[in-house]
Structure 1
Amino acid sequence: MFKYHVFICLCLFAFAKAESQQKVVDTTKTEQLEEIVLTATRTERQLSSLPLPVTLISKKTIEKSGAIRLNEILNEQTGIITVADESGFEGVQIQGISSDYILILIDGVPLVGRSAGNFDLSRLTVGNIKQIEVVKGPSSSLYGSEALGGVINIITEKPASPALKGNASYRIGSFEQQDINLNLKKRFEKLRLSLFANRFSSDGYDLTPETSGQTVNPFENYTFNTRVFYDFKENLTLFTSARYYNQVQEAGFTFEDVDFEGDSQEQEWNTHARLDHKWNDDFNISYEFYYTNYQAAELLADPIGGEVLSDSDFNQTLLRPEIRANYKITEYGTLTAGVGYQVEALDRTFFDERVQFDSQYLYAQYDVNLSEKWNVIAGARFDNHSEYSNQFSPKLAAIYNINESIAVKGSVGYGFKAPDFRQLYFDFTNSAVGYTVLGYNVAPAKLNELQAQGQILDVVVPLNDLNDPLEAESSIGYNLGMTYKKGKWNAELNLFRNDFTNLIDTRIIARRTNGQNVFSYVNFDEIYTTGFELNTGYKVTNDLNISAGYQLLYAFDKAQEQAVEDGSVFIRDAQTNQSVAIDRSEYFGLVNRSRHNANIKIFYDIKKYKANVNLRLLYRSKYAQFDTNGNGLIDIYDSSFINGFVTTNVAATKTFYKDFDLQIGANNLLNYRDNNIPTLPGIQGYIRLNYQF
């Protein structure tokens, strides 16, 4: 009954009349501040002036949407899809590029903890976020590895008022989901302090009650973040931040009629310090130090017999000092340069020992206005790494303002992703099935051990193939677009193409005497993603805004594409029982990629009643999860396709007594469900009360 109550309340709530009129606030300055983007160039730039494809999500948008975790708000943006991997973590896909290749930052520094490739976006609350910046396309020229497909930077708020400001909120929703926030901010003469705390919990849910276990098990997590700003002088400031995250989740699994129980735990903490020194109007320099640690552990055991099914640990650290500077060479051009050192280590179950990567890097970028209409950004980065070949990552971008309303922009850049710890050092044997997965660097020695133990039937690749270092994955990305903004209309069109080489995947390197295979990793895949994105908005009135977005995406494996064109990929005809070569039009492309994605958003401010309502319709066309007919690729005859679907999210907020906001909303209002999509458990209603002081 909860969903019906929510729907009725939404209708009544949106039109409830307040006793007093809402105070009209001039938001011009706020809107201008929200237009400032830092991530794309590492300098402050107006969003509209950038020659790169960037999505900016403001705090106001986040609050009105009712989103409480990062994955929720990102999933509503054009060209951004969240996809779960085998770990169950929900990662982000941009321009058809998977989560493995998207760098996640908080206040400009990277987060770690990818046990299976995806970064778990639900780890991040949005309760103290000022804005989210998404740079699409290769960004390794500034950020190095993992920025091959783009960058997501979460920027937290900075205290501005001498009075104690902040908010406290409580939200409860379906599946006993509860979210509690406390955010405090205060500015003294030279000192600014902020403290943020969040508790998030859920009883979980079960999409397949006919089977043992829940789809999502109950969990409880906490986030604490404190930030200190100190102005030694007008031109010398210090920023420090400490963040802690902890989650405990129940775990359960049935194997061979035995119910194994236990829990999984995650813990993350990071510390960040930056000293900014403005030497003069033309030159400033920042000294930065950052350290982060992510730990995860899971234990599954038979509570009766004591048999242990799974006992795993994951402990990753990252240490990074960096110095960067901005120098205004002329009135029209700024040079940005930086140098840094990075130490990354991982101690994990299925690794023989703790492993460590060391790297040094330097980058430079020149941002110049060639004329009143032309802006050009040229940059490059050099990375020297202990485990793979040196990388040079250039990028060039430009924007030309045809007039005050229309601008044309384009960019080309190189991106790379280093082989990760798992691909180099993994040593895992599935005890139930019997197959083995070996990291590239340990494969020769481990094969020799298995051969000495009489467990290898034959080696199917020359061992010399494992002597050369595994190459970093790389891509070249192209973006060409046009923006239009005049009166009540705004629109942006961006065409993109990303070509990837040296993608790393598994291959069979040996066969075991038990009939199973030994896998390792190799560079061989070449893929590309191409298409376009269109965003448009129309301001019907000062209070009513309508926007829409659409992405067309083609994502193909070049080797598979060539095999289809050569007529060497077959499908069995059900009527004749004969093998028939599939046609190029029948080759669908890569898994988990939808050809079409679209959204429509309606935001309505009812100022007279101190309320607002917003509605978001999100469409994703069909996509495939895996190959089912055994021909090695996704074609239209595979049976793992998930049909296209629409999700509808709605929220309504009303202000009472100036400081209290009551929000009622529902995600997936039309109650769409599919057991193959574990992140869509049906309608999720909620009520949230926020006190602003």
Structure 2
Amino acid sequence: MRTFTFMLLWLCCTASFAQQAVLSGKAQAGGEALSSVSITLLDTPLGQKTDSAGRYQFLQLPVGTYRVQASAVGFRKLTKTIMLKEEGNFTLDFDLSNLQNDLNEVVVTGTLKAVKRLESPVPVEVYTPAFFRKNPTPSIFEALQNVNGVRPQLNCNICNTGDIHINGLEGPYTMILIDGMPIVSSLSSVYGLSGIPNSLVEQIEIVKGPASSLYGSEAVGGLINIITKKPQNAPLFSADVFATSYQELNADLGFKFRAGKSADVLTGLNYFKYGNPVDHNHDNFTDVTLQDRISLFQKWSFKRAKNRILTLGGRYVYEDRWGGEMQWNKSYRGGDQVYGESIFTNRWELIGNYQLPVEEKIFFAFSYNEHDQDSRYGNTSYIAEQKIGFGQLTWDKSIGRHDLLFGAALRYTFYDDNTPATTGMNQAISKNTWLPGVFVQDEITLAAQHKFLAGFRYDYNSVHGNIFTPRMAYKWSINENNVLRLNAGTGFRVVNIFTEDHAALTGAREVRVNGELKPEKTYNVNLNFLRKMYAGNGNFFGVEASAFYTYFNNRIIGDFDSNPNEIIYDNLDGHAVSKGFSANIDLSFNNGLKFIIGGTYQDVATYEHGIKKQQILTEKFSGTWAVSYKINPLHLSIDYTGNLYSPMRLPLLSDTDPRREYSKTWSIQNIQLTFAGFKQLELYGGVKNLLNWTPNRGNPFIIARANDPFDKNLEVDNPYNLSFDPTYVYGPNQNIRGFFGIRYTIK
């Protein structure tokens, strides 16, 4: 009846030449135009879809008040009211950025199959390139500093290599994947996360907590899966180049082309250069490692019958990095005249995924990488070679309420170096290690809102023998915006002494291993709650909270305290626990203001002979934030990002060491302005480390005995009775600096 009345009024008004108006506008999300958005005048028969530029227009509208609704696939509906008081042109734009239904994001990491995030029984955090562009960095390793509960940890004050901590657990407990393949070995976690062209990243998925039942060894603390773009969906050309006042230069280039009728090819190139030695703390050592890195990535996607999958990808990385005394050059490499730490890295990788030509969903995925490292730490050499081959066959099968996944995997690892870890230490190490395994997973739909997952994996390690890792998960979808998940399971990590701590290779400490090291085993439980609330006016509030607990047997510990000249590795005679609570809050307003705030409280400690000891270099509390504001009329956006860390225990040499035993609370904060007023072009710039914080603050020095790096004169001018040691590091040494960049994209 209401529609009929409106049509009658419409005809009458038109016939009598009543006042008429034009209503037009644009639909967009994230600064990009949205085509095919349905624009409807509610309570009327009028409606249309936006064009390729995201624009719509209604002509000859009678004056009056209208309720206009925008709706599109993947977004929630947005309704606005506008009053057309008189004849003329009126504008009503729709920004659907806050209404993107990220519960429908497709994730693969939690269950090894593509599912909507809402449907996954395993909580998976998803981060897109737009999130990392709020604080541009030259590597994914550094970009992760803005992810709650994830911290890039520098382990060497001079060469600036490090690892990724998830919920306080150190780098060897984190598995790094590229397109689901364990391509980044533990030897090269920091190198593997450097040189991946950011322009080729589709999204990064993070699972916190053990995932060994699906992924095997190393996935004890969690895993990070870097998913690259599908060649057919990538821009035709993209470039992102920025430089800093430190004279750093980073360039990301990407382009795609069609190879014949059946293949799309995506190519990416990353180049990073930093060649300006600085010594702001006046200890005659470089504050920041100098680097020259190039990485080339290419991915092929082939068209096959019935849309079956066939993809191939490869990457090559070369890096030359050094740090040391300011007067060092390559002629001093490996000598004992001028101290320097110089690392040459050559690495290549191959990954692929092939769907078998059968009716069932059967996939064969494979990867292979070779890593050669030639390093000098003063006059100590570290020459290492690693080769890893991996193959995995999976069968995805649904039977009634059971969503089954069967798999068989084989990993081959070759490793050799020139250190005592492989030549004389009392532990079982083989140059050739085989790790075959089988796994099964059953996701059962108990009811419309309840799912239960049971998984089991069996591996046979050629050094350590049989390894079993079961797990379970339960998901209760209270409604479409509220989800409760409970996960529990076990994990394992095989022994590999060279990955335990970079400090084993640097400075004056010697490595000692007590007894034969055993594989670590963990027991884990995680409770996760997700709630999202949408308002009809476009405002949004979301919160995700998790409580976690991990219990360790055979925890491998590096003892820095018993002897200041040694690092003593042994299995813990007791147990270790990592427990805590984490929460993320996402708050968006229709005026362009957005908050992403995260906080994690964690207690990571060892328990031996009745004594509790906090893990070194592990904070109790950490926080991250990203505050963004878009000024649409000016095509300008402002991003204020930062992190905050509570005190952590630091590696002192002795009781006489005058450096702080615990760090103070510290924070790195950044601000960025982005102008998107040009077609296909973005300009951005800002300031990093606004507070000008470095670890030097409050310390008499950072590097012990920087004036005597080869310990030739320990009896001279040594009031604290220390030896040379650069392992006292917990945060970046870069001061406040400006940056400016350009992004150019042809779609």
TM-score interval, smaller chain: 0.7 to 0.9
Indicate which of 592, 600, 605 corresponds to 1:543. 592
Instruction: State the shift of 1:606 in Å.
Output: 2.7
Instruction: State the shift of 1:677 in Å.
Output: 4.3
- 1:103-142 maps to which residues of 2 (within 5 A)? 103-112=175-184, 114-115=186-187, 121-142=193-214
Indicate which of 361, 378, 396 corresponds to 1:284. 361
Indicate which of 626, 638, 661 corresponds to 2:651. 626
Distance 1:371 1:140 in 2: 28
Check if 1:360 corresponds to 2:414: no
Check if 1:661 corresponds to 2:682: yes
| SS class of match (2:356) | strand
Q: Deviations over 1:617-668 (max 9, x none)?
A: 321111111367769xxxxx99421100222122222124311111112221
Indicate which of 725, 739, 743 corresponds to 1:686. 739
Indicate which of 573, 579, 595 corresponds to 2:620. 595
Q: Normalising to structure 2: TM-score of the pair?
A: 0.74
Q: Please name the residue that 1:76 is paired with.
A: 146
Q: Which amino acid aligns with 1:142?
A: L
Indicate which of 403, 415, 420 corresponds to 1:346. 415
Instruction: Give the number of the structure whose alpha-carbon radius of gyration is greater.
Output: 2
Distance 1:322 1:23 in 2: 38
Distance 1:295 1:684 in 2: 34
- 1:530-679 maps to which residues of 2 (within 5 A)? 530-541=579-590, 543-559=592-608, 562-563=610-611, 589-626=614-651, 639-675=660-696, 676-677=729-730, 679=732
| SS class of match (2:573) | strand
Check if 1:183 corresponds to 2:240: no
Asked if structure 1 preserves the Cα contact closer than 8 Å seen for 2:206 and 2:222, the reply is: yes
Asked if structure 2 preserves the Cα contact closer than 8 Å seen for 1:80 and 1:92, the reply is: yes
Q: Which amino acid aligns with 1:539?
A: S
Instruction: State the shift of 1:358 in Å.
Output: 1.0
Q: Please name the residue that 2:382 is paired with.
A: 312
Check if 1:381 corresponds to 2:457: yes
Asked if structure 1 preserves the Cα contact closer than 8 Å seen for 2:542 and 2:586, the reply is: yes
Instruction: State the shift of 1:216 in Å.
Output: 2.4
Q: Which amino acid aligns with 2:678?
A: Y
Pick which of 254-263 and 389-398 moved more: 254-263
Distance 1:120 1:212, change over 3 A: farther
Indicate which of 511, 523, 527 corresponds to 1:437. 511
Q: Which runs of 4+ in 1 moved over 6 A?
A: 116-120, 254-257, 515-518
Instruction: State the shift of 1:259 in Å.
Output: 1.4
- 1:456-467 maps to which residues of 2 (within 5 A)? 466=515
Instruction: State the shift of 1:51 in Å.
Output: 3.0
| SS class of match (1:100) | helix
| SS class of match (1:210) | coil
Distance 1:518 1:321 in 2: 36
Distance 2:197 2:257 in 1: 21
Distance 1:408 1:429, change over 3 A: closer
Greater length-normalized contact order (CA 8 Å, ≥ 6 residues apart): 1
Q: Please name the residue that 1:455 is paired with.
A: none
Q: Which amino acid aligns with 1:644?
A: T
Distance 1:495 1:337, change over 3 A: same
Distance 1:530 1:421 in 2: 25
Instruction: State the shift of 1:205 in Å.
Output: 4.9
Q: Deviations over 1:3-36 (max 9, x none)?
A: xxxxxxxxxxxxxxxxxxx774258549568811
Q: Please name the residue that 2:67 is paired with.
A: none
Q: Deviations over 1:126-177 (max 9, x none)?
A: 231110011000000100000011010101111225x971212221113211
Q: Which amino acid aligns with 2:34?
A: V
| SS class of match (1:642) | coil
| SS class of match (1:593) | coil
Asked if structure 2 preserves the Cα contact closer than 8 Å seen for 1:112 and 1:318, the reply is: no
Asked if structure 1 preserves the Cα contact closer than 8 Å seen for 2:389 and 2:413, the reply is: yes
Distance 2:235 2:127 in 1: 26
Instruction: State the shift of 1:118 in Å.
Output: 6.5
Q: Which amino acid aligns with 2:526?
A: N
Indicate which of 402, 410, 413 corresponds to 2:489. 413
* Identity fraction in percent: 20
Q: Deviations over 1:590-613 (max 9, x none)?
A: 211211111232122333333322
Distance 1:507 1:80 in 2: 24
Distance 2:340 2:147 in 1: 38
Instruction: State the shift of 1:387 in Å.
Output: 0.7
Q: Which amino acid aligns with 1:293?
A: E
Distance 2:165 2:518 in 1: 23
Indicate which of 493, 499, 502 corresponds to 2:551. 499
Q: Please name the residue that 1:97 is paired with.
A: 169
Indicate which of 480, 483, 489 corresponds to 1:404. 480
Asked if structure 2 preserves the Cα contact closer than 8 Å seen for 1:505 and 1:521, the reply is: yes
Distance 1:527 1:23, change over 3 A: closer
Distance 2:462 2:291 in 1: 39
Instruction: State the shift of 1:489 in Å.
Output: 1.4
Aligned residues: 597
Asked if structure 2 preserves the Cα contact closer than 8 Å seen for 1:133 and 1:154, the reply is: yes
Unpaired segments of 5 or more residues in structure 2?
1-30, 36-71, 76-99, 329-333, 425-429, 535-539, 697-728
Distance 2:602 2:567 in 1: 35
Q: Please name the residue that 1:485 is paired with.
A: 532
Q: Please name the residue that 2:315 is paired with.
A: 243
Instruction: State the shift of 1:300 in Å.
Output: 6.8
Distance 1:602 1:550 in 2: 15
Q: Deviations over 1:484-522 (max 9, x none)?
A: 1121211111111111110123579x99xxx98895644
Distance 1:316 1:502, change over 3 A: same
Distance 1:535 1:85 in 2: 27
Distance 1:80 1:681 in 2: 20
Indicate which of 173, 182, 191 corresponds to 2:244. 173
Q: Deviations over 1:201-221 (max 9, x none)?
A: 112554554323313232110
Q: Please name the residue that 2:396 is paired with.
A: 326
Asked if structure 1 preserves the Cα contact closer than 8 Å seen for 2:153 and 2:730, the reply is: no
Distance 1:408 1:175, change over 3 A: same
Distance 1:250 1:594, change over 3 A: closer
Asked if structure 2 preserves the Cα contact closer than 8 Å seen for 1:79 and 1:551, the reply is: yes
Q: Please name the residue that 1:457 is paired with.
A: none
Instruction: State the shift of 1:372 in Å.
Output: 1.0
Distance 1:620 1:522, change over 3 A: closer
| SS class of match (1:50) | coil
Instruction: State the shift of 1:242 in Å.
Output: 1.0
Distance 1:673 1:262 in 2: 21
Check if 1:143 corresponds to 2:215: yes
Q: Deviations over 1:351-373 (max 9, x none)?
A: 44981111101111112221111
Pick which of 662-671 and 472-481 moved more: 662-671
Q: Which amino acid aligns with 2:403?
A: T
Q: Which amino acid aligns with 1:258?
A: Q
- 1:510-521 maps to which residues of 2 (within 5 A)? 521=570
Q: Which amino acid aligns with 1:310?
A: T
Asked if structure 2 preserves the Cα contact closer than 8 Å seen for 1:375 and 1:398, the reply is: yes
Distance 1:202 1:484, change over 3 A: same
Q: Normalising to structure 1: TM-score of the pair?
A: 0.79
Distance 1:242 1:644, change over 3 A: same
| SS class of match (1:234) | helix
Q: Please name the residue that 1:15 is paired with.
A: none
Distance 2:565 2:685 in 1: 54
Unpaired segments of 5 or more residues in structure 1?
1-21, 302-308, 441-465, 565-586, 632-636
Asked if structure 2 preserves the Cα contact closer than 8 Å seen for 1:346 and 1:355, the reply is: yes
Asked if structure 2 preserves the Cα contact closer than 8 Å seen for 1:235 and 1:277, the reply is: no
Q: Please name the residue that 2:269 is paired with.
A: 197
Check if 1:35 corresponds to 2:83: no
Asked if structure 1 preserves the Cα contact closer than 8 Å seen for 2:530 and 2:544, the reply is: yes
